[in-house]
């Protein structure tokens, strides 16, 4: 079938080896550390990546990006990194660590466990600490991790261009589909003051992206301690030696913490290589949308006052019409301000729960706008699945255990020059979908998404908009 897993070593010992055939490319994973004894199948599957630099992708099952999940699962994934950070770096254990891990493993009692965690006081860090989440995949994970702490700030990188601000940091993710990362803290002191910087990503393979941002930070705002948190850590011995060399060069400590750690070995030709050699282009379960479509569509504006006056430019240099929200971490967020987000999200979620008309509801974040929609979705009642649109191009194949079953391509509502994707939405499954947009856009820009859900025969489509220039009557 082109995709298999083989556990070649007994479950009682490490290292363990797992072998995957990803559409002709063989990927072997040797686990060397698994502190919570998590079955890898809980955390990821694999898929073929549409990228010349790397032909495969670990598709996270706990991130809320490519795979629909119970929205409490990515919140608990962030909590799991937070408790591990405190235990490893500060020697402080959280009373609910075992419950968090068990909920992740079993996808059971997730709300009960999460609310038990947030009912307790936040970790008070002994020194001011800045958490940075990597766009676009880990913006939600980074925020979910940061939300466990006091005496902390959060900032996430962005691929957007914001003309009224100069990026304080500008660095590259070498293997990515979109290599440029920028940081736009409104207050540059956000990077200057903290003694420790914590970088949060879903996966580190070579670790070069983290090293690139550490170099960029250290040039302007030198620190003594950096921490890299990730769900998965696949660095080779050579990659780890690069970290040690940078530590010695800069005179710093770089700590790395993950849920799973090991090494990967890759052999065989990727689907990208075979397509370049003339393999047929009909590769998988790609959408095929016609112009004849209809789906009942509604729009609801969140009556949020916390907005920034900044706008972005699209790839053609055109300005956006609506400003960003101020609660995402794109421009910096303090622990104090973050305390206001959960009650707000719960209030909105409970109102949208009353608006629901079906038992199976999909909530869809968009691009970098992941955490706040995730938090709202968690409080919209039973039968909710959450994930997000993405810029990552991945080959879809409707095969057992393969990470991407289908895909739909559309022009970004914020930038018609960019293709975005949404994955793993089964036809005739959901009763309705709520699509969360950070900023209002002209309805014409939403038509590509409307077409997708018409093809999926979605009975009801609701766009939930965070920031609007004009406030219509239909607001939440």
Domain annotation covers residue 226: yes
Residues 348 and 454 reside in one and the same domain: yes
pLDDT-based confidence at residue 467 (cuts at 50, 70, 90): confident
Nearest residue to 360 via CA among 380, 376, 346, 390? 380
Domain total of the chain: 2
For residue 31, give the DSSP letter.
E
Please give the structure tokens belonging to residue 63. Answer: 């991130």
Does the pLDDT of residue 171 top 90, yes or no?
no
Does the pLDDT of residue 10 top 80, yes or no?
no
467-to-226, 303, 312, 325, 327 alpha-carbon distances in Å = 34, 8, 13, 6, 11
pLDDT of residue 47: 97
Residues 118 and 216 reside in one and the same domain: yes
**What SS3 string covers 431-467?**
CEEEEEEEECCCHHHHHHHHHHHHHCCCCCEEEEEEE
Does the pLDDT of residue 298 top 50, yes or no?
yes
Share of the chain above pLDDT 90, in %: 73
87, HSE (Cβ side, Cα atoms, 13 Å): 16
Residues 136 and 189 reside in one and the same domain: yes
pLDDT of residue 3: 37
pLDDT of residue 53: 81
pLDDT of residue 5: 41
pLDDT-based confidence at residue 277 (cuts at 50, 70, 90): low
What's the CA gap between 103 and 98, in Å, rounded? 9
Q: What is the CATH number of the domain that holds 454?
A: 3.40.50.2020
Residues 258 and 207 reside in one and the same domain: yes
Domain annotation covers residue 81: yes
pLDDT of residue 11: 44
388-to-369, 373, 435 alpha-carbon distances in Å = 8, 9, 9
pLDDT of residue 321: 75
What's the CA gap between 241 and 208, in Å, rounded? 12
pLDDT of residue 272: 82
Residue range 103-126, pLDDT digits in tens:
999 999 999 999 999 999 999 999
- Mean pLDDT value across residues 331-350: 96
Residue range 73-98, pLDDT digits in tens:
999 999 999 999 999 999 999 999 99
DSSP states along 75-110: HHHHHHHHHHHHHHHH----TTHHHHHHHHHHT-SH
Residues 375 and 232 reside in one and the same domain: no
Helix (H) or strand (E) holding 322: none
What's the CA gap between 211 and 424, in Å, rounded? 33
What's the CA gap between 378 and 357, in Å, rounded? 17
Residues 381 and 450 reside in one and the same domain: yes
Residues 89 and 204 reside in one and the same domain: yes
- Mean pLDDT value across residues 267-280: 76
276 CB contacts (<8 Å, ≥6 apart)? none
What's the CA gap between 448 and 419, in Å, rounded? 11
pLDDT of residue 189: 87
Cβ proximity of 324 and 307 under 8 Å:
yes
Domain annotation covers residue 402: yes
For residue 67, give the DSSP letter.
S
Residue range 419-453, pLDDT digits in tens:
999 999 998 899 999 999 999 999 999 999 999 99
Residues 190 and 125 reside in one and the same domain: yes
- Pick from 164-168, 287-291, 302-306, 401-405: least confident: 287-291
Residue range 374-385, pLDDT digits in tens:
999 999 999 999
**What rounded mean pLDDT belongs to the chain?**
89
Domain annotation covers residue 35: no
Does the pLDDT of residue 470 top 80, yes or no?
no
Residues 449 and 358 reside in one and the same domain: yes
Residue range 411-420, pLDDT digits in tens:
999 999 999 9
Domain annotation covers residue 209: yes
Domain annotation covers residue 220: yes
pLDDT of residue 6: 41
Residues 199 and 133 reside in one and the same domain: yes
Domain annotation covers residue 304: yes
Domain annotation covers residue 138: yes
Q: How many CB atoms lie within 10 A of CB 387?
A: 26
Residues 248 and 382 reside in one and the same domain: no
DSSP reduced 3-state for 369: strand
Alpha helices in 165-205 (DSSP H): 189-192
**What SS3 string covers 18-42?**
EEEEECCEEEEEEEEECCCCCCHHH
What's the CA gap between 414 and 437, in Å, rounded? 9
Domain that residue 456 falls in: 297-311+339-467
Please give the structure tokens belonging to residue 67. Answer: 């795979």
Cβ proximity of 436 and 363 under 8 Å:
yes
DSSP reduced 3-state for 231: strand
pLDDT of residue 307: 74
Residues 169 and 114 reside in one and the same domain: yes
């Amino acid at each position: 079938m082109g995709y298999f897993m083989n556990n070649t070593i007994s479950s009682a010992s490490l290292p363990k080896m797992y072998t995957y055939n990803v559409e002709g490319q063989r990927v072997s994973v040797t686990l060397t550390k698994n502190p919570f004894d998590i079955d890898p199948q809980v955390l990821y599957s694999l898929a073929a990546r549409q990228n010349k630099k790397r032909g495969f992708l670990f598709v996270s099952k706990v991130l809320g990006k490519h795979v629909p999940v119970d929205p409490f699962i990515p919140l608990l994934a962030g909590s799991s990194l937070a408790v591990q950070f405190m235990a490893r770096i500060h020697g402080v254990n959280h009373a609910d660590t075992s419950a968090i891990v068990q909920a992740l493993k079993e996808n059971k009692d997730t709300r009960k466990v999460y609310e038990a965690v947030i009912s307790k006081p936040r970790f008070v860090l002994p020194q001011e600490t800045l958490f940075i989440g990597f766009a676009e995949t880990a913006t939600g994970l980074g925020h979910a991790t940061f939300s466990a702490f006091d005496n902390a700030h959060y900032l996430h990188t962005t691929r957007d261009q914001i003309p009224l601000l100069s990026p304080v940091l500008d660095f590259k993710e070498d293997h990515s589909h979109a290599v440029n990362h920028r940081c736009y803290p409104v207050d540059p002191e956000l990077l200057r003051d903290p003694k420790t910087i914590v970088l949060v990503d879903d996966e580190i393979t070579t670790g070069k992206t983290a090293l690139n941002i550490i170099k960029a930070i250290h040039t302007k705002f030198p620190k003594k301690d950096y921490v890299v948190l990730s769900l998965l850590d696949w660095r080779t011995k050579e990659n780890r030696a690069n970290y040690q060399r940078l530590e010695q060069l800069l005179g710093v400590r770089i700590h790395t913490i993950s849920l799973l750690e090991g090494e990967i070995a890759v052999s065989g030709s990727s689907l990208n290589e075979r397509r370049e050699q003339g393999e047929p282009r009909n590769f998988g379960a790609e959408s095929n949308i016609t112009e004849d479509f209809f789906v009942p569509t509604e729009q609801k504006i969140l009556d949020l006052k916390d907005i920034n006056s900044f706008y972005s430019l699209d790839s053609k240099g055109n300005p956006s019409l609506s400003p960003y929200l101020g609660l995402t971490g794109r421009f910096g967020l303090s622990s104090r301000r973050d305390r206001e987000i959960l009650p707000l999200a719960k209030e909105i979620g409970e109102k949208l729960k009353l608006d629901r008309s079906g038992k199976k509801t999909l909530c869809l974040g968009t691009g970098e706008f992941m955490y706040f929609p995730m938090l709202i979705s968690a409080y919209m009642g039973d039968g909710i699945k959450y994930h997000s649109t993405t810029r990552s191009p991945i080959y879809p194949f409707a095969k057992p255990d393969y990470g991407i079953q289908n895909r739909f391509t559309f022009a970004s509502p914020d930038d018609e020059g960019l293709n975005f994707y949404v994955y793993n939405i089964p036809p005739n499954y959901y009763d309705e979908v709520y699509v969360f947009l950070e900023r209002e856009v002209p309805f014409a820009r939403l038509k590509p998404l409307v077409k997708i859900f018409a093809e999926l025969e979605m009975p009801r489509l609701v766009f939930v908009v965070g920031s609007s220039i004009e406030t219509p009557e239909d607001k939440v």
